């Protein structure tokens, strides 16, 4: 029986049902009873009990979205009385001991299952578990029969198992096809923002290069030289930095390590690649005079709040956009950084990713609410109340908890700050500066006023003081000058 409770909405009892789908995700459904709240509680409770008893969660499940391992279990359940007992026992054994075990560990939805995914599975059985040809054929019979049922039901358009020969000893998997297959698997195991970063690099850069320069390159044929040549090409022909190459390498190495782990390749060729030396980054920053000039430029601009918050508090753009009103304690005069909003592009669509977590544990921090900033917040709060009144039903209701919204209540997006702020600075003939560099400016001001690096680390939310020292190497220049002045008196004239 599913869980459920009653809720009052506009004077009418609503039935709220809750259950977990076949993939373990929490689902819900609202059903109106049509009964006014007054005098109908007992009758509404009876309707709730009936709904909980009769409601079939499986009827609402999109079968194509379920993981393949879960699909196999449902297929067995549905076909139990329709199969020959011996045939059913064979399929059940294959799923319980082998196929289900593998695909539970490598979750891929039924809809996204490809021939490459199945080739990976058979290769794993051949190399990792030393499966015989007879065993492979039995496993393949279970896979192809179950997927034929999915095709008959209209859950998938074709049967990917029909394009696979489970007994081929040498893997025919193309390197680029493997990368895309690995990427699909990662979508279910990493954060959306991380997956978005992987997808951009693999689909837009890595796969196009290998399709053009090494068409038909099989996974088993990839060498360290292939990968090294790719990095050289990107740096010389496309001007990639060493740091960007490092990120691309992380994608390729992780994918190939997975191929090695499941015995698709005898070793990881990416581990033998020589990476370019990464130059130490020195953050750009504005001094106090430049910051004052910048604040005047952005007076009344939509980016004003973002600029002030980044320059004074050193918050990251995700932390600024993620600030909610409940993070501000006007009585204790504190600001707590605990919620972030980032952007991720998945399948060509950009979405906002809201999280009650920060970049690191140290990023979760509480800072003092100073009087000038408090006045800014109070003014914004009053303006939002006025805008809600003026816009009425046209005012966006989704972001009422957030501080940084526009006139109609829509959240200011992180990407807006990244592109808009440098453009306005350039237009006003200010030195070139990224939005993130305002964080560096904050650190510089703190240091100039005698704040130790350890305290700057806590203010900015760095996990280690090494991070603070490495990024803000320019902060040490004043102390070096002081040291030089201390000994200048003993030097010969």
Q: Provide the phi-psi class of 411: left if phi over 0, else alpha when psi is between -120 and 50, else beta.
A: beta
Q: Supply the pLDDT for residue 126.
A: 83
The dihedral of CA 194, 199, 205, 209: what is its sign? positive
Q: Are residue 336 and residue 469 in the same domain, yes or no?
A: yes
For residue 193, the model assigns a pLDDT of 86
158 with 184, same domain: the answer is: no
Q: Are residues 37 and 92 in the same domain?
A: no
Q: What pLDDT does residue 64 have?
A: 63
Range(s) of the domain holding residue 435: 288-478
CATH number at residue 156: 1.10.150.130
With both helix axes pointing from N to C terminus, report the angle between 414-427 and 288-297 in degrees, rounded to the nearest 10: 100
Alpha carbon 88 to its chain's center: 41
Percent of the chain with pLDDT over 70: 87
pLDDT tens per residue across span 278-293: 776 666 788 889 999 9
Q: What is the pLDDT at residue 483?
A: 43
pLDDT at residue 392 tops 80: yes
Picking from 246, 272, 298, the residue at the C-terminal end of a domain is: 272
Which of 6-15, 92-101, 247-256, 317-326 shows the lowest per-residue confidence on average (mean pLDDT)? 6-15
Pick from 146, 169, 192: which residue ends a domain?
A: 169
Residue 454, pLDDT score: 79
pLDDT at residue 5, rounded to an integer:
87
Which residues lie below 8 Å from residue 145, measured CB to CB, with a gap of 6+?
91
pLDDT for the residue numbered 19? 73
Residue 126 lies in a domain: yes
pLDDT of residue 169: 61
Task: Indicate whether 355 and 472 sit together in one domain.
Answer: yes
- Residue 409, SS3 per DSSP: coil
Examine residue 328 and state whether it is found in any structural domain, yes or no. Answer: yes
Q: What is the mean pLDDT of the chain?
A: 85
* Top-confidence residue, 345 or 225: 225
* Least confident range of 22-26, 274-278, 458-462: 22-26
Q: Does 151 reside within a domain?
A: yes
User: Are residues 340 and 417 both part of a single domain?
Assistant: yes
Q: At 178, which helix (H) or strand (E)?
A: helix 175-186
Identify whether 252 is part of a domain. Answer: yes
* 487, pLDDT greater than 70: no
pTM of this prediction?
A: 0.60
Q: Is residue 217 part of a domain?
A: yes
Read off the pLDDT of residues 419-433 as tens digits, 9 standing for 90 and up.
999 999 999 999 999
Containing H/E element for 366? strand 365-368
Same domain, 69 and 50: no
| Secondary structure of residue 347 in the 3-state scheme | coil
When pLDDT is cut at 50, 70 and 90, the band that residue 381 belongs to is very high
């Amino acid at each position: 029986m599913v869980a459920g409770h009653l809720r009052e909405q506009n004077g009418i009892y609503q039935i709220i049902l809750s259950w977990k789908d076949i993939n373990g995700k929490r689902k819900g459904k609202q059903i109106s009873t049509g009964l006014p709240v007054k005098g109908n509680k007992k009758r509404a409770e009876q309707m709730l009990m009936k709904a909980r008893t009769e409601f079939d969660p499986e009827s609402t499940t999109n079968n194509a979205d379920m993981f393949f391992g879960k699909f196999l279990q449902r297929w067995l359940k549905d076909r139990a009385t329709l199969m020959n007992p011996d045939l059913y026992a064979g399929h059940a054994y294959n799923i319980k001991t082998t196929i289900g075990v593998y695909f539970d560990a490598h979750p891929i939805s039924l809809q996204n299952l490809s021939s490459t995914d199945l080739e990976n599975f058979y290769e794993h059985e051949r190399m990792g578990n030393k499966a015989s040809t007879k065993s492979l054929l039995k496993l393949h019979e279970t896979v192809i029969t179950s997927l034929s049922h999915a095709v008959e039901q209209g859950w998938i358009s074709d049967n990917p198992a029909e394009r696979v020969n489970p007994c081929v000893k040498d893997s025919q998997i193309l390197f680029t096809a493997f990368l895309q297959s690995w990427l699909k698997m990662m979508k279910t195991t990493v954060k959306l923002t991380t997956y978005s970063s992987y997808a951009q690099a693999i689909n837009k850069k890595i796969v196009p290069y290998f399709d053009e320069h090494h068409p038909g390159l099989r996974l088993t044929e990839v060498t360290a030289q292939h990968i090294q040549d790719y990095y050289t090409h990107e740096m010389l022909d496309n001007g990639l930095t060493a740091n960007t190459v490092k990120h691309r390498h992380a994608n390729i190495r992780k994918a190939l390590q997975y191929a090695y782990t499941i015995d698709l390749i005898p070793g990881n060729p990416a581990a033998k690649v020589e990476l370019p030396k990464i130059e130490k980054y020195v953050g750009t920053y504005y001094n106090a005079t430049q910051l004052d000039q910048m604040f005047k430029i952005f007076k009344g601009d939509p980016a004003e709040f973002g600029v002030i918050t980044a320059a004074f508090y050193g918050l990251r753009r995700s932390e600024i956009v993620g600030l909610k009103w409940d993070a501000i304690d006007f009585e204790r005069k504190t600001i707590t950084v605990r919620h972030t909003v980032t952007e991720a592009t998945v399948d060509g669509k950009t979405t906002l990713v809201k999280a009650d977590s920060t970049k690191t544990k140290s990023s979760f921090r509480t800072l003092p609410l100073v009087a000038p900033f408090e006045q800014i917040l109070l003014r914004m709060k009053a303006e939002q109340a006025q805008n809600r009144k003026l816009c009425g039903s046209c005012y966006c209701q989704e972001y009422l908890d957030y501080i940084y919204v526009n006139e109609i209540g829509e959240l200011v997006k992180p990407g807006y700050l990244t592109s808009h702020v440098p453009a306005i600075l350039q237009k006003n003939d200010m030195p070139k500066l990224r939005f993130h560099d305002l964080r560096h400016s904050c650190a510089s001001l703190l240091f100039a006023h005698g704040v130790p690096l350890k305290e700057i680390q806590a203010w900015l939310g760095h996990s280690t003081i090494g991070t603070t020292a490495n990024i803000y190497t320019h902060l040490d220049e004043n102390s070096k000058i002081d040291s030089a002045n201390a000994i200048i008196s003993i030097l010969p004239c």
